[in-house]
Amino acid sequence: MAWKTYSGILLEDPLPLAVERIITRFKENGQRIKVCIGTDSQVKGKTIDMVTVIVFYVIGNGGFMFVNKKRLLQKMNMRERMMAEVTASIETGWELNDVLKRLDVEMEIHADINQDPMHQSYAAYHDAMGYTKGMGFTFKSKPDAFASSVCADRLCH
């Protein structure tokens, strides 16, 4: 599936170019942006719906996002699914890494994983954090991971 705006408009440009154009426009207007990338998934029968979002947080002035939806035809346990979510976010981060570094824009990877051992998603917490940080990205988990646990979550259900 292709990247779209939140309102469903298909991006015509390749993702890095679309991101560069948006960030440049905001920077030219004197605004600062932080990019947060997160993924959430939902098991629906024999499929898994997975949504990755790129949230452009315009500091002090709200934000907007790009959305990518996929349907997977495979079975995964909770830990595997959490790691698949983090992998999707990291892959998107890598796709945008050069542009964001060149434009001096901060990026975070948000994981829909709980830090509390009482929750099932905790089974992937340390692996997801190590993987994300090992790839050189800033890692955020619940309750600070709004891109995955709020934005992607709402679009996944």
132-146 per-position pLDDT tens digit: 999 999 999 999 999
Which structure tokens are listed for 142? 């619940």
pLDDT of 1 higher than 80:
no
**pLDDT given for residue 58 in this prediction:** 93
pLDDT of 60 higher than 80:
yes
pLDDT tens for 84-111 read 999 999 999 999 999 999 999 999 999 9
The residues, any chain, with a CB within 8 Å of residue 101's CB and separated by 6 or more, are none
- Is the whole model's pTM more than 0.85, yes or no? yes
Select the more confidently predicted residue: 36 or 152: 36
Q: Assign 105 to helix, strand or coil.
A: coil
Closest listed residue to residue 65, CA positions, set 82, 51, 47, 53: 53
50, 120 Cβ separation under 8 angstroms: no
Q: Report d(CA 116, CA 83) in Å as an integer.
A: 17
pLDDT of 126 higher than 80:
yes
Report the mean per-residue pLDDT for the chain: 93
**β-bridge mates for residue 107, sequence order:** 35
25 to each of 9, 19, 72, 103, 143, how far by Cα in Å?
A: 19, 10, 35, 11, 31
Tell how strand 138-142 and strand 63-72 pair up.
unpaired
